[in-house]
Amino acid sequence: MARFDKLVFSGVQPTGNLHLGNYLGAIRNFVALQADYDCIYCVVDMHAITQSVDVWGGPAELARATREVAAAYIACGIDPKKHIVFNQSRVPEHAELAWVFNCVARIGWLNRMTQFKEKAGKDRENASIGLYDYPVLMAADILVYRATHVPVGDDQKQHLELSRDIAQKFNNDFAADIARLGHADGFFPLPEPLILGPATRVMSLRDGTKKMSKSDPSDYSRINLSDDADAIAQKVRKARTDPEPLPGEVEGLAARPEADNLVGIFAALEGAEKSAVLKTFGGGQFSTFKAALVDLAVAKLGPIGAEMKRLQADPGYIDSVLADGGARARALAAKTMDDVKDIVGFLR
């Protein structure tokens, strides 16, 4: 089977509400990549259940959030006909390849994963095996399609490195069998991260030193993708600021996290540099800048919220998109698994 030279895979977890950080940090990039790559965008419901059930909210919430992520993909401009949108658990080959990869990955590699340490917290003995194994499933997600490029944020770079290590060790361990089956230069590609545009780290609207997060108890800390125009406007108006006027230069934002965040959000939504934003608004009061940010945010995000609402009112349509995407994904994944079985020596 010929390898794709350009295939994108990425995933978003269906936990909690999607917010501006998910859009600017991830989904917006997914949309842009459609022009140059074949893309597979997954709702990673199997990753969602790695934390305790009160974190992901139970079955009804998982189903709701899975449809919400799918609706967001579509509302933001991902074309589920030209590309593939589906939820992970529909394609059992992800879990099947993860098992093979469990036997390739080393405990020492997983012990270095910083996200496990963060998520497991102090009570590591009580974390699920799934949480520990999370990066191996992620490697299987990507490699079951032999995807070459993975748009990810900074926090997932270490996991992507691990995917490369797993791909490489598999290629080495089974080099003779891979060659025997006619694959010239290794079976799995070493997937590369794609970081597009200025790294947009969106911080809380209430505290510019904390990441915007779905788990923050204050809804005013974040702009949800499903917020309507009024909610967006109110949250921007209420966003925390400091008493100084905006600086004229980017350096002037250094010790001013709230100002830096709002200017960064403006720049990202506008597709401009922060310096250009400060050329326009530097020296002026926050009230003037915020009024412009309200207009911009409502213009860019209002239609996404409205489209999500429309889609979510029709869960039958979303489910049909996921079923169709799942069937197309599965056809690709099954081919890879057939080859993997032949390589490893599993009779089929």
- The residues carrying an active-site annotation are 119, 211, 214
C-alpha of 182 from chain center: 34
Q: Is 10 near ligand TRP (CB under 6 A)? A: yes
Considering only the stretches 5-13, 100-108, 235-243, 252-260, report the one whose residues sit in contact with ligand TRP under the rule CB under 6 A.
Answer: 5-13
Considering only the stretches 71-79, 98-106, 149-157, 329-337, report the one whose residues sit in contact with ligand TRP under the rule CB under 6 A.
Answer: 149-157
- CA-to-CA separations, 4 to 7, 149, 340, in angstroms, rounded: 6, 10, 17
Q: Which of 96, 133, 141, 227 binds ligand TRP (CB under 6 A)?
A: 141
Sign of CA dihedral 204, 18, 273, 149: positive
CB of 263 vs ligand TRP, minimal distance in Å: 25
Q: Is 13 near ligand TRP (CB under 6 A)? A: yes
**Tokens 């999607």 belong to residue:** 18
Strands 84-87 and 38-43: parallel
Phi, psi of 150 (to 5 degrees): -135, 110
Q: Is 194 near ligand TRP (CB under 6 A)? A: no
CB of 152 vs ligand TRP, minimal distance in Å: 5
CB of 140 vs ligand TRP, minimal distance in Å: 9
Q: In what order do the strands lie in the sheet with 149-151?
A: 84-87, 38-43, 7-12, 149-151, 192-194
Q: Which residues contact 108 (CB under 8 A, 6 or more apart)?
A: none
Q: Is 9 near ligand TRP (CB under 6 A)? A: yes
CA distance 244 to 307: 38
Q: Which of 44, 205, 262, 277 binds ligand TRP (CB under 6 A)?
A: 44
Q: Which of 25, 27, 41, 47 binds ligand TRP (CB under 6 A)?
A: 47
Give the nearer residue to ligand TRP in terms of CB position, either 102 or 280: 102
Please give the residue whose beta carbon sits closest to ligand TRP in the complex.
11
Q: Is 152 near ligand TRP (CB under 6 A)? A: yes
**Tokens 């869960």 belong to residue:** 315
Give the nearer residue to ligand TRP in terms of CB position, either 9 or 73: 9
Q: 46-82: string of b/e by CB count within 10 Å (b at 16+)?
A: bbbbbbeeeebbeeeebbebbbbbbbbbbbbebebee
CB of 162 vs ligand TRP, minimal distance in Å: 11
- The full DSSP string for 235-260 is HHHHS---SSPPPSSGGGGTT-HHHH
Q: Which of 156, 204, 221, 226 binds ligand TRP (CB under 6 A)?
A: 156
> Where along the sequence are the contacts to ligand TRP (CB under 6 A)?
9-11, 13, 44, 47, 138, 141-142, 150, 152, 156, 159
